[in-house]
Amino acid sequence: MNKVYPDAKSALEGLTFDGMTVMSGGFGLCGIAENLIVAMRDSGVKDITVISNNCGVDDFGMGLLLQTKQIKKMVSSYVGENAEFARQFLSGELELEFNPQGTLAERIRAGGAGIPAFFTKTGYGTVVADGKETRQFDGEWYVMETALKADLSIVKAWKGDASGNLVFRKTARNFNPMMATAGRVCIAEVEELVEVGELDADNVHTPGIYVDRLIVGASFEKRIENLTTRSA
């Protein structure tokens, strides 16, 4: 089975449809699948539910799909630094399912592991627990959280081989590995494609069994987020 596709557009062929759920890896602007996100925008798919730690910034990352009104709902843990996100949410144009960051990560991991739900202390007694089952264990109260799955996972890795084995680098090794396991189909975007057997098996973060399609990114901006507290 050939997993390597020539570009992001061809890798997405036959996988996008209106109303789909997409998991998008990365943390802030680090480790995001830049080329696949642009290809999703250009595909015109709409009413997407996006599961991602955040939604990029106004003109980069998943923020590009907010600009074009392709996202219907966000399932995330951080909404700062994106004025369009805030505008759409406050105006009622965008649905938001807010999660504590650790809870979001575990919901995704549970989806990939086949665990339907789990209990956590986080959020008990707050609006996070509204409408959810709560239960007491050993005198402590917990909130039941359900697993998350997606029709498509798009992840970004440092290196990969033709079998789909992936190595992530530093901060990019956050939501990417768990999201690769929780999508019905996973497309990986890599910076470097190496021969099968070249990756040290002990250093493979995502085994190729979880990856269905693979591209080498055409280019990467690799933007970083800067906090400015005063003028220079």
Q: Which two tokens stand for residue 214?
A: 């693979």
List the strands of the sheet with 140-146, edge to edge: 117-120, 140-146, 134-137
Report pLDDT for 175.
Answer: 95
CA separation for the pair 83, 198 (Å, rounded): 43
Report pLDDT for 27.
Answer: 87
CA–CA distances in Å: residue 14 to residues 47, 74, 77, 105: 17, 23, 30, 28
Q: Which of 30, 68, 71, 57 is nearest to 155 (CA)?
A: 30
Tell me the per-residue pLDDT of 141-155, one tens digit each, with 9 for 90 and over: 999 999 999 999 999
Residue 172 has pLDDT above 80, yes or no: yes
pTM across the whole model = 0.92
The answer to whether residues 143 and 122 touch, using CB atoms and an 8 Å cutoff, is: yes
Q: Which two tokens stand for residue 28?
A: 């802030």
The distance between the two most distant Cα atoms of the chain, rounded to a whole number of Å, is 56
Tell me the per-residue pLDDT of 10-25, one tens digit each, with 9 for 90 and over: 999 999 999 999 999 9
**CATH code for 8-116+144-216?**
3.40.1080.10
DSSP 62-102: THHHHHTT-EEEEEES--TT-HHHHHHHHTTSSEEEE--HH
